[in-house]
Structure 1
Amino acid sequence: MSNRRPYRVGYAPGAYDLFHIGHLNILRHARQQCDYLVAGVVSDEMAERAKGRRPVIPLIERLEIVRNIKYVDAAFVETVADKVETWKQVRFDVLFKGDDWRGTPKGDKLEQDFAAVGVDVVYFPYTVHTSSTQLRRALDALAPPLPEAGELSRG
């Protein structure tokens, strides 16, 4: 007897900062391959550890945006880097990632860890022409320079 559910739960983790078409594409494609989609929204602290900077959009707002995308059935705040620990809480059957992870040491470890618990890893094409990193660079270029430390106290 199998312990598989009669429906397939998918999990699509991400920072979802500066929400753009690449994020929407992953969620849309993920929903087409499962019956119930949970979007994992990484905490501000996790995003900062992974990318070296905090998201532009705070967690509570990113969570609300993702929760209201029509392809998403539930949103989960991801607070640990170990995806298997997240799986123990969410219990998904398939994990969706951008194909920029495929063939990398991190992607290989993810596939190996999830094969051990019967979870499939499915990759979707990474949206090369739009990324949160590119959007953030554009915003940074438009921002006025911050004053030097001593300039604020001059009167």
Structure 2
Amino acid sequence: MENKKKYKIGYTCGVFDLFHVGHLNLLENCKKQCETLIVGVCTDEYVIKIKNKTPIFSQEERCRIIEALDVVDSAKIVDIEEVNDKQLAQKIFKFDVLFSGDDWKGTERYVETEKQFAKIDVSIEYLPYTQGISTTLIKNSLNKTQD
């Protein structure tokens, strides 16, 4: 019999371009804490306008990769508004926990989100990033090998 999870529905979102072990670690850590894991995959527009990067894989391809993972129950493409407004994301996906990178902990944006979520009994769990791996590092490494 499986141990009861701390949360019913968990949510996280990201770009997930050039899927790597850091992404997998994040999603596995999220799933350990919730019965159902919903993952938002940022639109190409978000990546270009907000992150100032061009994704290697399209939003549909990235979403398909994420949804194929056993630890993910559902993957949905999310737009700029849904990524930036965590209350809007909560209304859409009905999660009781938001998983986010620990680099956001203590920021003005997340302190405010914590206050708003506390009023509706929604938690935020901050998870560490896997050191030594990122999409940017992979892209830089590939660029060096092409020189």
TM-score normalised by length of structure 1: 0.81
1:31-50 to 2 correspondences below 5 Å: 31-50=31-50
Unaligned runs of 5+ in 1: 1-6, 145-155
- For 2:122, the aligned partner's letter is V
Residues 141 and 113 (structure 1), Cα distance of their counterparts in 2 relative to 1, 3 Å cut: farther
**Aligned twin of 1:105:** 108
Unaligned runs of 5+ in 2: 1-6
- The separation in 2 between residues aligned to 1:141 and 1:112, in whole angstroms, is 44
Percent identity of paired positions between Structure 1 and Structure 2: 38
Q: Which of 135, 140, 143 is the equivalent residue of 1:140?
A: 143
- For 1:93, the aligned partner's letter is D
1:6-155 to 2 correspondences below 5 Å: 8-79=8-79, 80=81, 81-143=84-146
Per-residue CA distance 1:92-135 (angstroms, 9 max, x = gap): 11010111111223332332332233210001111121011111
- Select the structure that is richer in helix: 2
- The separation in 2 between residues aligned to 1:123 and 1:41, in whole angstroms, is 18
Does structure 2 conserve the Cα–Cα contact (< 8 Å) formed by 1:45 and 1:54? Answer: no
SS in 1 for 2:99: strand
User: What is the aligned residue count?
Assistant: 138
- The separation in 2 between residues aligned to 1:108 and 1:134, in whole angstroms, is 29
- For 1:106, the aligned partner's letter is R
TM-score normalised by length of structure 2: 0.85
- For 2:136, the aligned partner's letter is T
SS in 2 for 1:135: helix
CA RMSD of aligned residues (A): 1.6
**Aligned twin of 1:148:** none
Residues 138 and 120 (structure 1), Cα distance of their counterparts in 2 relative to 1, 3 Å cut: same
- For 2:51, the aligned partner's letter is K
Greater Rg over alpha carbons, structure: 1
- The separation in 2 between residues aligned to 1:114 and 1:44, in whole angstroms, is 28
Query: Displacement of 1:143 after TM fit?
Result: 4.3
SS in 1 for 2:10: strand
